[in-house]
Structure 1
Amino acid sequence: MSPESDGIDDSQVVLYRLVDQESEEVLIAAEDLLDYFMEEDREPPETVTFVRAHQVGRARRKTERAELQVVDRQGATIGAYDIGRVSAAFRPELVPSGADRPDLGYSFLGRTCEYPWAGEIWRQWAAMGRPVEPGEWARHPSDWHESWMHVVQTAWFDSGRSATRYETGGTAVIDGSGFTTGDGFYCALGEAVNGPGGYFGWNLDALFDCLRTMRRDEASPFRLVWRNVAVSQEALGSDFTERVLALFEECGVETELS
């Protein structure tokens, strides 16, 4: 689904679309979104703001089943959020026509995404595509890594992939000197197993699900090389590393520690 043309190549700048899931009508398409990606402990706003709207649906101003889509420069959906009930917080007759790009509010009934840096990461992915070079996640501060994993997981499943292994290389290598948090570990692991921007769990339960699905799908096994594991034990705690290693052993993954 692409925004309706008004003489401007919207696919080059639109980042978000709010869509009614039943009719597939685009309620609004805009360049940015404010007050949706925010810290978990912040008070939810009454409305979120669609910045520089390129398309405003006039037939429907509210719906019970809205989906917020993140779109790339070709207009393809790269991530989506099931929002549910929404309503416009503006009067359609006050929306300017032509090339004007107003900022317009929608009520999401307090629904927000508790990954504050996800919006910035989505913007990068929409402009540049999915990561193709290893280590892009590591170039962000460690407090971005949870948001990075959220974007990875969302994009992974929205693209039709499942919780399993897709790469064919027999050895996955992670370096304990490259991360200091559990989120960083899962960023590194997903990339090592499934390539840049790859997903392979974001907590122990999800990791077990990936390993179990891999076995069920008869995906080719892999060997895990964990370099500088002592650094990981120091940063993440021995309990974390021991539980991860025990899970790999339980699921038949050979590990080499150095």
Structure 2
Amino acid sequence: MQVEDGRWSWERGFPLRYLLAADGGEQVWSRCADAEGLFADPVPAPRERLTFLGCDPAGPLRNAVEQPAGAVVRLGELCLEVGNEKRPLEWWGLNDADVVDRRPSGSDPALVDVVIEAGVEEPEEGRAELTGQRRFELFEKDSLGTCEGVEGLYVERYGAPEQPMTLIGCEPTERLRAVLDAPEPGAAAELWALDRSGRPMTSRILALEAGEVRPSVLGGDLLDITLTGGVDDPPPLLAGPVWEAWYEGVPDALNEWARFTTEGRHEWLKIAFRNRSRGRADESGGTYHVDGTHVTDGYGLHCALGEAFHGPGGYYGMDWQSFNDCLGGGVGVVPPFTLVWHDAETARRALAGAVEDLEGGPTYFEEIVQRLEGYGVVVELR
């Protein structure tokens, strides 16, 4: 049963590790003891062509559209922000983006239609329920401009699963049996991983294509269910130890992320994002301290910043765009304040090669510091 503080439990002789649910966890279909084949190294998204209609380009995108017809201009990693007139609600990743064509817009001769080829990553939170007029804006670090629409974005994307996965020890609830007995094409559910206390920790989307349903190896009335449809954004193999660390509960000591590789630190930030404080009023002022001892890559930088503001396991962005969003409010701490960055030279040296402008532009570390100062933060590098 579910206890009052949002944790889950069951009366069996082994731990409860997962929930199979829908609608953001509102509809719980089953509790499961384990999942085999969940972790798999990622396969790059296939390259697609998207046409950005009615663009008012800025920065590198403006430079790209000013190149001669037929010229291919590399932009790299981009973020497409989609929202309504009030706020952004979706964040799409565009990997290794290239501008491959440009032409005057049919809607306004002052605007331009831009064709971009890239690997497309769907929003981690899933597609939002957007009604009315949508707003599209491209980002590298800063805005690359807005556009009126994007052809080819809202299509079904099916990636062949790398391997089937099996849910072990699932409760045969009526909801679960109904889904298994009458599967719908494209049906999906969320698999929520729980920590030792039964608290939801992180989740992944599963395609509900059952290849085999059999009595569980754990006995009783439980089922083992093999799903052939795969996992959307499966956690990489190196993420396993990160999940095990959070399984013991929200970290109670700083720098527990430091022992992981760059890939593991990225997964750490994903879990920290899921466990961030919500509904907490933003506060400004005060002094915060960053322990820079282990900031040896970009994700480590964001792990350290998150813990500076919110303690062990804290979140304050995982890349440039989400960091910038945090500075704008909604995560509990907003400028102005004072940030004391201890052992800052470690990050400066480690990120010396992390630059977008190879002709002498600032490094990622320097851009983070400059952005903080631009928001009125007093940054003391020690």
> Smaller-chain TM-score range?
0.7 to 0.9
Instruction: Describe the superposition over 1:9-53 as per-residue Cα deviations: whole angstroms up to 9, x where unpaired.
Output: 55xx1211212449824245122x233332223873342222x31
Pairing 1:41-56 to 2, within 5 Å after superposition: 41=43, 44-50=161-167, 52-56=168-172
Partner of 2:303: 187
SS of the residue corresponding to residue 318 of structure 2 reads coil
Kept in 2: contact 1:165–1:194 (CA 8 A): no
Give the helix-richer structure, 1 or 2. 1
Partner of 1:26: 29
Unaligned runs of 5+ in 1: none
Kept in 1: contact 2:287–2:340 (CA 8 A): yes
Aligned-pair identity (%): 27
Return the offset for 1:101: 6.8
1:173 equivalenced with 2:294 (yes/no): no
Of residues 7, 12, 35, the one that matches 1:8 is 12
C-alpha RMSD over aligned residues: 3.4
Pairing 1:51-90 to 2, within 5 Å after superposition: 52-56=168-172, 57-61=176-180, 62=183, 64-83=187-206, 85-90=207-212
SS of the residue corresponding to residue 248 of structure 1 reads helix
Rounded to whole Å, the distance in 1 between the matches of 2:327 and 2:318 is: 12
Unaligned runs of 5+ in 2: 3-7, 45-159, 353-361
Give the direction of change, closer, same or farther, for the CA distance of 1:44–1:54 in structure 2 (3 Å limit). closer
Decide which moves more: 20-29 or 248-257.
Answer: 20-29
Kept in 1: contact 2:213–2:226 (CA 8 A): no
Rounded to whole Å, the distance in 1 between the matches of 2:218 and 2:301 is: 49
Kept in 1: contact 2:285–2:337 (CA 8 A): yes
Of residues 137, 149, 166, the one that matches 2:269 is 149
Return the offset for 1:136: 1.4
Counterpart of 1:251, as a letter, is: Y
SS of the residue corresponding to residue 178 of structure 1 reads coil
Return the offset for 1:165: 5.8
SS of the residue corresponding to residue 379 of structure 2 reads strand
Rounded to whole Å, the distance in 1 between the matches of 2:312 and 2:279 is: 15
Rounded to whole Å, the distance in 2 between the matches of 1:91 and 1:54 is: 10
Question: Normalising by the residue count of structure 1, what TM-score does the alignment of the two structures yield?
Answer: 0.78
Kept in 1: contact 2:163–2:230 (CA 8 A): yes
Question: Normalising by the residue count of structure 2, what TM-score does the alignment of the two structures yield?
Answer: 0.55
Counterpart of 1:125, as a letter, is: W
Give the strand-richer structure, 1 or 2. 2
Kept in 2: contact 1:15–1:123 (CA 8 A): no
SS of the residue corresponding to residue 196 of structure 2 reads coil
Partner of 2:253: 133
Counterpart of 2:380, as a letter, is: E
Partner of 2:38: 36
Give the direction of change, closer, same or farther, for the CA distance of 1:90–1:28 in structure 2 (3 Å limit). farther
SS of the residue corresponding to residue 89 of structure 1 reads strand
Rounded to whole Å, the distance in 2 between the matches of 1:74 and 1:4 is: 8
Instruction: Describe the superposition over 1:126-153 as per-residue Cα deviations: whole angstroms up to 9, x where unpaired.
Output: 3x21012212112334542112112111
Task: Count residues with an aligned counterpart.
Answer: 245
Counterpart of 2:305, as a letter, is: L
SS of the residue corresponding to residue 317 of structure 2 reads coil
Pairing 1:96-135 to 2, within 5 Å after superposition: 98-99=219-220, 103-109=224-230, 111-126=232-247, 128-135=248-255
Counterpart of 1:200, as a letter, is: Y
Larger gyration radius, structure 1 or structure 2: 2
